[in-house]
Structure 1
Amino acid sequence: MKVKVQTLDAKAGGDIQLDKEIFGVEPREDILHRVVTWQLTNRRAPARATRERSDVARTGKKYGRQKGGGTARHGDRRAPIFIGGGKAHGARARVFTSSLNKKVRALGLKMALSSKAKDGKLIVLDNLDMDGEAKTKALQAKLGKLGFGKTALVVDGEAVNVGFARASANLEGINLMPAMGANVYDILRHETLVLTRAGLEKLEARFNG
């Protein structure tokens, strides 16, 4: 599969051959759903346990008489009905993690990349170098000619381009990440996937290496 390579100035930069084993896989909703669910589950923070009656640091001494006080009988101040007492039926500590086979995770990423290529929502840029000073206004004008759409995920190589990162920081709908961070959830939730030559090489090496 051949795609055209463009520059940030929307000029032609030649053609590049995409690996069919990565960008030519037929997407399956069940695989993509499993990978996205796995990602979102592992993204959840652990739940903190509340302090129950046995966890509260208060005296265990009986503070009132058993009879004659005109109130209920209590053995200590740890009871949940008292201020500073333990929580009744409180939340338990939980860690939200799940596992997924590496082959399924790799297949899901291939399918996410292939879905963008199949729908014509894949753009390949030569690089993210900006001529002169990296300014948001100048970058916004360039992106309008490239057809990034409402939301775009830009994947660079080993590290992100500092100038482009600075200029795109205030642009809504533009997200930038290195190739190592490319994942199914972020690819699918953006309208357009933008890869640099360096990012494309890193992704292919990630699967073939």
Structure 2
Amino acid sequence: MDITIKSLDGKDAGKVTLADEIFGLDPREDILQRMVRWQLAKRQQGTHQSLGRAEIARTGAKLYRQKGTGRARHGSARAPQFRGGGKAHGPVSRDHSHELPKKFRALALKHALSAKAKSGGIVVVDELKAADAKTKATVKRFADLGLANALIIGGSELDENFSRSARNIPHIDVLPVQGINVYDILRRQTLVLSKAAVEALEERFK
């Protein structure tokens, strides 16, 4: 697949051929869904917890005698039915992550890249560099390129001026190529790859 390379100023800067084994697959929604579910589960904190009856600091004495009152046979004020008692079946701290094979995760990334390529949502730029860290200038450049909601992937190291100028722009994410992931690709309308990122991805999946 041939695609025109753009500069950040909106000018043409040549062409690049995207590998069909990475950008030309027929996207499968089931693979993408499983990968997104894995990512969201892995980042879930799981620190929410309520106190059960064993963790409530309250007297352990029997409330009243067993027989003769005409009331129910209660034995503890920590029971869930009492005000201030423990919560029954409440949330506990746990790890929400689950296993997903490494080869499957690599395949899911290829399908996400192919989905963007198929929908015409990939833009390749020659380099991601800025003379100074001015957000206003970067916003104008993105507007000229038609980027309002985009994930921007640079090389292994990002230009500091460009990274600083773009990090406060709404709906724009900037990541090095090591941080590319399925969830961020799918949640943004456009995927912007630098030439270095394309080369790194092709090297990674070689």
Aligning the two structures, in what range does the TM-score lie when normalised by the shorter sequence?
0.7 to 0.9
Q: TM-score, normalised by structure 2?
A: 0.84
Q: Take 2:192 and 2:7, find their aligned partners in 1: how far apart are those partners?
A: 12
CA contact (8 A) 1:8 1:146 kept: yes
Q: Take 2:16 and 2:198, find their aligned partners in 1: how far apart are those partners?
A: 10
Structure 2 stretches of 5 or more lacking a match?
A: none
Give the C-alpha shift of residue 193 in structure 1.
0.6
The 1:123–1:68 alpha-carbon spacing in structure 2 relative to 1, beyond 3 Å, is: same
The 1:206–1:69 alpha-carbon spacing in structure 2 relative to 1, beyond 3 Å, is: same
CA contact (8 A) 2:48 2:91 kept: yes
Letter in 2 for 1:9: D
Give the C-alpha shift of residue 196 in structure 1.
0.9
Which residue of structure 1 aligns with residue 135 of structure 2?
136
Which residue, out of 182, 185, 188, partners 2:186?
A: 188
Which residue, out of 193, 197, 200, partners 1:199?
A: 197
Q: TM-score, normalised by structure 1?
A: 0.83
Give the C-alpha shift of residue 31 in structure 1.
1.8
CA contact (8 A) 1:8 1:130 kept: no
Structure 1 stretches of 5 or more lacking a match?
A: none
The 1:83–1:33 alpha-carbon spacing in structure 2 relative to 1, beyond 3 Å, is: closer
The 1:73–1:117 alpha-carbon spacing in structure 2 relative to 1, beyond 3 Å, is: closer
CA RMSD of aligned residues (A): 2.6
Match of 2:39, SS state, is helix
Tell me, yes or no, if structure 1 residue 10 matches structure 2 residue 18. no
Which residue, out of 174, 177, 194, partners 2:175?
A: 177
Deviations 1:80-137 (A, max 9, x none): 4555432234334443222222222211111111222223221111111113x22111
| Equivalent residue pairs, number | 206
Letter in 2 for 1:160: L
Q: Take 2:73 and 2:30, find their aligned partners in 1: how far apart are those partners?
A: 59
Give the C-alpha shift of residue 167 in structure 1.
1.3
Taking only the aligned residue pairs, the percentage that are identical comes to 49
Letter in 2 for 1:130: A
Q: Where in structure 2 are the equivalents of 1:18-57 lying within 5 Å? A: 18-46=18-46, 48-57=48-57
Give the C-alpha shift of residue 188 in structure 1.
1.5
Q: Take 1:89 and 1:195, find their aligned partners in 2: how far apart are those partners?
A: 48
